[in-house]
Structure 1
Amino acid sequence: MSHSGVGRAGPGRGFTSAPRAASATFSQELIDRILGDTDKDTLKSCALVARSFRTTSQKLIFSDLTILPPGCDSIPALQRLANLLSASPHLALHVRTLRLVQPSFYAPCVWMQSDILPVILPLFTHLASLRISIYNWDFFHSDCEQAIHTLITQSQLSSIELEEARFQTNVKLLAFLQCYPASLQFASLRHVYTHRSNLNDAFIEFDPLHLTSLHIDSHASAPYHWAMRAVDPKHLRDLQTDAQKSTLKFVQRLLDGAVHVETYHISLRDSFFNRQTTNLRSMPSLRTFELSVELEWAEIHKAQGRYNPLNDVTRTLTTAPQTVEHLILNLQIRHSDDWGRFLDYPLRDHPLEGLGERRPALRDVVVRIVLRHEPPALQQGIQYLKQLFHRLENRGMLTAVIIHPAAGQ
Structure 2
Amino acid sequence: MALPQELIDIVTDNIQNDPVTLKACSYAASSFRRSSQRHLFSRIKLLPPRSAKRSTPCEKFHEVLASAPHLASYVRCLEILEGYDTDGKPARNLPWIRSDRTLELVLPLLRLRRFSLHCTWPASLNISSLPGTLKAQFHDVLHSPTLASLSLGRIVFTPSNFHFYLDGCRSLKELTLSNVSVHSSLDVDDPETVESDALRAQLESLDVVESDGEVIDLLLSLQSPVDLRHLRTMSIYGYLDSLHLNDLVQRPRATLQHLGVWDPLGLVIGFDTTQHENLRSLFIAPLTSVAWTGLLQTCSPRLQQITFELPLDIFKFPQIATELAEALLCAELPHLCEVNVEVHPGYRSHIGSEPEQWTLLLESAFADFTARLTALSTIQAALQIKMIPERTTVKRWSLARPDEAQAKDEEDEDEGDEEDGYDEDLKGGVDVNEQEYWEGDVSQPGEKNDDDEIKEQHR
- Shift in Å, 1:262: 1.4
CA spacing shift, 1:141–1:193, aligned 2, 3 Å: closer
The DSSP-based 3-state class of the residue aligned with 2:34 is helix
User: What one-letter code is carried by the residue in structure 1 that aligns with 2:199?
Assistant: D
Looking at structure 1, the residues matched to 310 and 186 of structure 2 have their Cα atoms a distance apart, in angstroms, of 33
Give the corresponding residue for 1:406: 389
Q: 1:201 Cα shift?
A: 12
* 2:156 is the counterpart of 1:167: yes
| Contact 2:228 2:251 (C-alpha < 8 Å) held by counterparts | yes
Unaligned regions of 5+ residues in structure 1, if any? 1-22, 295-308
TM-score (norm 1): 0.76
Give the deviation of 1:399 after TM superposition. Answer: 0.2
Aligned to 2:5: 28
Superposed displacement of residue 64, structure 1: 0.8
What is the percentage of aligned positions where both structures have the same residue?
20
1:131-181 superposed Cα distances (whole Å, 9 cap, x missing partner): 222242138642434422222123421111223x14164544444333x62
Residue 177 (structure 1) aligned with residue 163 (structure 2): no
Deviations 1:193-212 (A, max 9, x none): 34669999999546312122
* Paired amino acid for 2:367: K
Shift of 1:384: 2.2
Give unpaired runs (5+ residues) of structure 2.
87-92, 396-459
Q: Secondary structure at the match of 2:62?
A: helix
CA 1:245–1:49 in structure 2 vs 1: closer, same or farther (change >3 Å)? Answer: closer
Give distance in 1, aligned partners of 2:85 and 2:157: 16
Alignment check: 8 A CA contact 2:213 2:240 kept: no
SS of structure 1 residue aligned to 2:201 = coil
2:229 is paired with a residue of what secondary structure?
helix
What is aligned with 2:249? 255
Which SS does the other structure have where 2:273 is aligned?
coil
Looking at structure 1, the residues matched to 318 and 249 of structure 2 have their Cα atoms a distance apart, in angstroms, of 35
Three-state SS of the structure 2 residue aligned to 1:285 is coil
2:114 corresponds to 1:129: yes
Letter of the structure 2 residue corresponding to residue 384 of structure 1: A
Contact 2:44 2:77 in 1 (8 A): yes
Report if the CA contact (8 A) 1:236-1:260 is conserved: yes
Give 1:268 deviation, angstroms: 1.4
Q: Tell me the residue number matched to 1:149.
A: 139
Aligned to 2:209: 217
1:383 aligns with 2:364: yes
Distance (Å, rounded) in 1 between the aligned partners of 2:365 and 2:49: 42
- Contact in 1 for aligned 2:325/2:373 (Cα 8 Å): no
Q: Which residue of 2 aligns with 1:363?
A: 337
Distance 1:145 1:79 in 2: 18
RMSD, aligned α-carbons: 3.4
Instruction: Find the aligned partners of 2:23 and 2:299 in 1 and give their Cα distance.
Output: 51
Cα distance in 2 between the residues matched to 1:41 and 1:257: 45
The TM-score, its normalising length taken from structure 2, stands at 0.68
Whole-Å Cα distance in 1 between the matches of residues 26 and 268 of structure 2?
61
Does the CA contact (< 8 Å) of 1:75 and 1:111 recur in 2?
A: no
Give the C-alpha shift of residue 396 in structure 1.
6.1
1:392 aligns with 2:373: yes
What amino acid is the match of 1:289? L
Aligned partners of 1:396, 1:262: CA distance in 2, in Å?
A: 19
Question: Secondary structure at 1:234's aligned position in 2?
Answer: coil
Please tell me whether residue 116 in structure 1 is matched to residue 74 in structure 2.
Answer: no
In 2, the alpha carbon distance for the partners of 1:390 and 1:239 equals 32
Shift of the 49–389 alpha-carbon distance from structure 1 to 2, 3 Å rule, reads closer
Shift of 1:255: 2.4
Q: How many residues align?
A: 360
Q: How far is the alpha carbon of 1:234 from its aligned partner?
A: 3.1
8 Å CA contact retained: 2:174, 2:203: yes
